[in-house]
Amino acid sequence: MFSQNHQQGHSSRLNGGGLGGQRIPLPFNYQQGQHHQQSHLQHHQSVQQDHTGHNGNGGAVGHHSNYSSGVLSNATPFTPSGLQNGHVGTSTTTRGGQAQPINEHWAEQLRLHKEAERAHAAMTEQAQPHYYARLKASENKGISYPSPAGKASSGDSDTDDRRRPYSVDRARNHQAWHNLDMSGQGLRNLTPALFAYSFLSELYIASNKLTHLPASIGQLRQLRHLEASYNQITELPPELGMCTYLKELLLFNNNIRTLPYELGSLHLLEQLGIEGNPLSPDLKQEIVERGTKSLINLLKEQSPVPPPPAPRKFITVQEDVSASLERIKVFSWNVLCDKYATPQTYGYTPTGALSWEYRKECVMEELRDKDADFLCLQEISTESFKEELSPALAQMDYKGVHWPKTRAKTMGEKDALGVDGCATFFKASKYILLDKQVIEFAAIAINRPDMKNQHDVFNRVMPKDNIAVVCFLESRATGARVILVNGHLAWESVLADVKVIQTGILMEQIAKYAERWVRWPAVKDKRLFSFSTPMKEGDEATRPATPQEPAPSQEYRNNTDIPLLICGDLNSTVDSSVYELLSQGRVPPDHLELAKFQYGSFTRDGIEHPFSLRDAYAHLQGTPDELPFTNYTPGFVDVIDYLWYSTNTLEVVDLLGPPDAECLKRVPAFPNYHFPSDHIQIMAEFVIKARKEKKVLPEPDFGTGSGGGDKSGR
Structure confidence by residue, pLDDT tens digits, 58-70: 333 333 333 333 3
- Checking phi first, is residue 455 left (phi over 0); if not, alpha (psi -120 to 50) or beta? alpha
If one compares 177 and 14, the residue with the highest pLDDT of the two is 177
Active site residue 169: no
Q: Say if residue 482's pLDDT is above 80.
A: yes
Cα separation, 215 vs 518, whole angstroms: 59
If one compares 306 and 64, the residue with the highest pLDDT of the two is 306
The structure's pTM equals 0.79
DSSP state, residue 460:
I
What pLDDT, on a 0 to 100 scale, did the predictor assign at position 538?
52
Greatest alpha-carbon pair distance for the chain in Å reads 136
If one compares 260 and 702, the residue with the highest pLDDT of the two is 260
| Single-letter code of the amino acid located at 600 | G
Q: What is the dihedral of CA 331, 332, 336, 338, to 10 degrees?
A: 60
Q: Say if residue 331's pLDDT is above 50.
A: yes
Range from 312-321, 415-424, 641-650, 687-696 carrying the lowest mean pLDDT: 687-696
Q: Say if residue 84's pLDDT is above 60.
A: no
Cα separation, 640 vs 678, whole angstroms: 12
> Long-range contacts made by residues 522-525, C-beta under 8 angstroms, separation at least 24?
522/552, 522/553, 522/555, 523/432, 523/434, 523/474, 523/479, 523/553
Phi, psi dihedrals of residue 405, rounded to the nearest 5°: -60, 160
Among residues 241, 202, 254, 256, which one has the least CA distance to residue 224?
202
Residue 83 pLDDT class (50, 70, 90 cuts): very low
SS3 (DSSP) at 271: strand
Q: Give the total residue count for the chain.
A: 714
Cα separation, 662 vs 309, whole angstroms: 8
What pLDDT, on a 0 to 100 scale, did the predictor assign at position 101?
72
What pLDDT, on a 0 to 100 scale, did the predictor assign at position 68?
34
**Which residues of 38-103 form beta strands (DSSP E)?**
92-95, 98-101
Provide, rounded to the nearest whole percent, the portion of the chain with pLDDT above 70. 75
Write down all domains in the chain, each with its CATH number in brackets: 22-30+64-87+98-146+175-304 (3.80.10.10), 314-524+548-688 (3.60.10.10)
DSSP state, residue 593:
T
Cα separation, 704 vs 713, whole angstroms: 8
Indicate the burial class of 160 (C-beta count within 10 angstroms; 0-12, 13-18, 19 or more): middle
In the chain the first and final C-alpha atoms are separated, in Å, by 97
If one compares 177 and 332, the residue with the highest pLDDT of the two is 332
pLDDT tens for each residue of 655-695: 999 999 998 999 999 999 999 999 999 999 999 999 876 55
Q: Say if residue 51's pLDDT is above 50.
A: no
What mean pLDDT is predicted for residues 328-357? 97
What pLDDT, on a 0 to 100 scale, did the predictor assign at position 459?
95
What pLDDT, on a 0 to 100 scale, did the predictor assign at position 692?
75
Range from 98-102, 190-194, 331-335, 519-523 carrying the lowest mean pLDDT: 98-102
What pLDDT, on a 0 to 100 scale, did the predictor assign at position 570?
98
Q: Say if residue 697's pLDDT is above 60.
A: no
What mean pLDDT is predicted for residues 82-105? 51
Q: Say if residue 457's pLDDT is above 50.
A: yes
What pLDDT, on a 0 to 100 scale, did the predictor assign at position 49?
41
Cα distances from 345 to residues 41, 75, 285, 330, in angstroms, run 32, 33, 28, 30
Buried b (16+ CB within 10 A) or exposed e, 38-68: eeeeeeeeeeeeebeeeebbeebbeebeebb
Q: Give the mean pLDDT of the chain.
A: 82
Provide, rounded to the nearest whole percent, the portion of the chain with pLDDT above 90. 69
What is the torsional sign of CA 361, 348, 344, 641? positive
Q: Say if residue 628's pLDDT is above 70.
A: yes
Indicate the burial class of 4 (C-beta count within 10 angstroms; 0-12, 13-18, 19 or more): exposed
- Which position among 338, 373, 456, 569 bears the catalytic label? 569
